[in-house]
Amino acid sequence: MRMALGVIIVGTIMFVTGLVLFYAIELGQTEPVLRLIKNTGTFVGISGMGVTLAGILLYLINRNESPMHEYTSE
């Protein structure tokens, strides 16, 4: 449970960092370094979305479900 929350937090941070890197650079830059930063932002942001989704799935899989009680009438 704690690991899943950690993965969700890391994925969210990655996504926000990717957004900052992507939108900090103006569209249509021709300088290679600025284009590399913008492309890196795209990669980190999309990877962050995947990591966040993985964390959510881990959280849902590892939830403790209440045990089922079967009542039989005899």
| 37-60 pLDDT tens trace | 999 999 999 999 999 999 999 999
Whole-number pLDDT of residue 74: 60
In this prediction the pTM is 0.78
What sections of 25-70 are H helices per DSSP?
32-61
Give pLDDT tens digits for 8-33: 999 999 999 999 999 988 888 789 99
Q: Does residue 66 surpass a pLDDT of 90?
A: no
Q: Are 21 and 58 in contact (CB under 8 A)?
A: no
What is the chain's mean pLDDT, rounded?
89
Determine the Cα–Cα distance for residues 15 and 31; give it in Å rounded to an integer.
Answer: 24
Q: Among 71, 54, 74, which residue's Cα sits nearest to residue 11?
A: 54
